[in-house]
């Protein structure tokens, strides 16, 4: 079937993916393969803007690749690779930086937020992050970038950089990417308050064992106003219930919704049911992951082949870009 165009997305090498990564991005990556020609990149260079200790960077990149493949990324059709394996992106980043006003970068809310979070390490790469991101996108002649609403300004920024470049050099070699809104409700961590995140240690990794998963689920905060078993609960403000709606059969979700409100089910039982359903849903993922992990050379070969295919596209684009800039 003819594909609708090319999708590009980058994911950080944060090691083993968690439920928030899966529901917020990876599951969508998998679905997009049916309609689009997909290019997915594990952005190790981007990670350097915030990660100072790189001792686990290789392993974390490998673990993320394992999770993406186990979740259903199909490397025979999709290009999956590591950002630093395509050095052309650094060259394009430099050329795009020449048409990007510094003030625009320092005004971006994401830069201000990062500078607040790591005042001891406001590095040049952090300021130029959106330019590198733009280079990632346009290097592969991307048509569509899947984004949540909070990332929309970055795509608008990328479009502006492309327009500036094409105008400055009187060319059309770079394509303005469109965005595809892939907003999913925010996935909260087991604390029931903050977005699921490794840094907050409120996450549930996909690759945990069933028993480890059960233990994490049993730690989940439920309806904060339900103090004891005999109190009626309110599923509408319960994080466990919002995840039940994703992983539990509808008739059981309806039953929990009713029984919780009249104290017919306790939170311990409710969480046990959720852990069972989550473990069941993750069974195929875990089996595939274990199989891939038993053949690490094959995973490395998949990433190498992805980088080779990515470099073919990248080098073609860069030849056009160098010509447009009139580099001798
Ligand atoms: Fe949440 Fe279930 Fe407890 Fe109700 S019974 S508050 S839905 S965990």
State the total domains in the chain.
2
* Ligand 1 pocket residue status of 220, Cβ below 6 Å: no
CA of 275 from ligand 1 middle (Å) equals: 13
pLDDT at 274: 98
Domain-embedded: residue 195:
no
Q: Are 47 and 7 in contact (CB under 8 A)?
A: no
Q: Verify whether ligand 1 is closer than 6 Å to residue 274 (CB atom).
A: no
Residue among 241, 265, 275 whose CB has most ligand 1 atoms within 8 A, to mutate: 241
In terms of domains, do 240 and 260 share one?
A: yes
Mutate to test the pocket of ligand 1, among 217, 218, 220, 223 (most ligand atoms within 8 A of CB): 223
Q: Are residues 319 and 171 in the same domain?
A: yes
Task: Say yes or no: 226 and 78 in one domain.
Answer: no
Same domain as 183, residue 319 = yes
- Domain contains 200: no
Quick check: CB of 260 below 6 Å from ligand 1?
yes
Residue from 327, 17, 22, 320 nearest 174 by CA = 320
pTM metric for this prediction: 0.93
DSSP symbols for 172-213 = --SPPPEEEE------B-TTSSSBP-TTTT---BTTS-HHHH
Whether 18 and 107 map to the same domain: the answer is yes
In-domain check, residue 194: no
Q: Which residues pair with 81 in a beta bridge?
A: 41
| Residue from 225, 253, 255, 256 to probe ligand 1 pocket by mutation (most atoms less than 8 Å from CB) | 256
Residue 311 in domain: yes
Residue nearest to atom 3 of ligand 1 (CA): 267
CA distance 99 to 101: 7
Quick one: pLDDT at residue 65? 98
Q: Counting atoms of ligand 1 from 1, which one is nearest the CA of 241?
A: 7
Cα(257) to centroid of ligand 1, in Å? 8
* Residue bearing the CA closest to ligand 1, atom 4: 260
Q: Residue 224's domain spans which residues?
A: 210-290
Asked if 262 and 286 sit in the same domain, the reply is yes
What is the C-alpha separation between 109 and 131, in angstroms, rounded?
Answer: 15
- 285 and 304 fall within a common domain: no
Determine the pLDDT at residue 193. 93
Give the CATH number for residue 86: 3.40.50.620
Residue 251 has a pLDDT of 96
The answer on 36 and 117 residing in a single domain is yes
For the Cβ of 223 lying below 6 angstroms from any atom of ligand 1, the answer is yes
DSSP labels, 108-169: -HHHHHHHHH-GGG--HHHHHHHHHHHHHHHHTT-SEEEE-GGGHHHHHHHHHHHHHHHHHT
Distance 208 CA to ligand 1 centre (A): 23
User: Ligand 1 centroid vs 285 CA: distance in angstroms?
Assistant: 27
pLDDT of the chain, 328 residues: tens digit per residue = 788 899 999 999 999 999 999 998 999 999 999 999 999 999 999 999 888 789 999 999 999 999 999 999 999 999 999 999 999 999 999 999 999 999 999 998 888 988 888 898 888 989 999 999 999 999 999 999 998 777 888 899 999 999 999 999 999 999 999 999 887 778 999 999 999 999 899 999 999 999 999 999 999 999 999 999 999 999 999 999 999 999 999 999 999 999 999 999 999 999 999 999 999 999 999 999 999 999 999 999 999 999 999 999 999 999 999 999 999 9
> Considering the domain boundaries, does residue 1 fall inside one?
no
Same domain, 301 and 152: yes
Asked whether residue 72 is assigned to any structural domain, the reply reads yes
Question: In testing the pocket of ligand 1, which one of 221, 226, 261, 275 has its CB within 8 Å of the most ligand atoms?
Answer: 226
Which of 228, 307, 321 is closest to 40 using CA atoms? 307
Q: 21 with 151, same domain?
A: yes
Q: Within this chain, do residues 104 and 166 fall inside the same structural domain, yes or no?
A: yes
Q: How far is the CA of 267 from the centre of ligand 1 (A)?
A: 5
Q: Are residues 48 and 160 in the same domain?
A: yes
Say what the pLDDT of residue 140 is: 97
5 with 143: CB under 8 angstroms?
Answer: yes
Is the separation of the CB atoms in 36 and 2 below 8 Å? no
Q: Is 265 in the pocket of ligand 1 (CB under 6 A)?
A: yes
Whether 199 maps to a domain, the answer reads no
Kindly report the CATH number assigned to the domain that includes residue 243. Answer: 1.10.240.10
Q: What is the distance in A from the centroid of ligand 1 to the CA of 21?
A: 24
């Amino acid at each position: 079937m003819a594909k609708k165009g090319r999708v590009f997305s980058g994911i950080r090498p944060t090691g083993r993916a968690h439920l928030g990564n899966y529901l917020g991005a990876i599951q969508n990556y998998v679905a997009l393969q049916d309609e689009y020609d997909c290019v997915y990149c594990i952005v190790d260079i981007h990670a350097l803007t915030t990660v100072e200790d790189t001792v686990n960077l290789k392993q974390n990149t490998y673990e993320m690749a394992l999770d993406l493949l186990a979740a259903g990324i199909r490397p025979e059709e999709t290009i999956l690779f590591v950002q630093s394996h395509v050095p052309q992106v650094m060259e394009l980043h430099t050329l795009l930086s020449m048409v990007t006003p510094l003030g625009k970068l320092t005004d971006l809310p994401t830069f201000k937020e990062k500078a607040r979070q790591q005042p001891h390490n406001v590095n040049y790469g952090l300021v130029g992050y959106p330019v590198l991101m733009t280079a990632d996108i346009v290097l592969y002649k991307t048509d569509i970038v899947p984004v949540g609403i909070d990332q929309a300004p970055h795509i608008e920024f990328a479009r502006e950089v492309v327009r500036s470049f094409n105008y400055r050099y009187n060319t059309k070699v770079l394509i303005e990417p469109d965005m595809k809104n892939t907003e999913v409700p925010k996935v909260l961590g087991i604390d029931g308050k903050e977005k699921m995140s490794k840094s907050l240690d409120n996450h549930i990794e996909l690759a945990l064992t069933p028993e480890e998963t059960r233990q994490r689920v049993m730690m989940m905060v439920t309806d904060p106003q339900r103090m004891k078993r005999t109190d009626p609960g309110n599923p509408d403000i319960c994080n466990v219930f919002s995840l039940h709606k994703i992983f539990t059969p509808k008739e059981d979700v309806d039953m929990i919704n009713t029984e919780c409100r009249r104290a017919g089910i306790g939170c311990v039982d409710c969480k046990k049911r959720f852990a069972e359903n989550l473990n069941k849903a993750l069974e195929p993922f875990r089996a595939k992951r274990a199989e891939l992990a038993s053949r690490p050379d094959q995973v490395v070969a998949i990433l190498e082949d992805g980088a080779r295919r990515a470099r073919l596209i990248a080098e073609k684009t860069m030849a056009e870009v160098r010509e447009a800039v009139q580099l001798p």
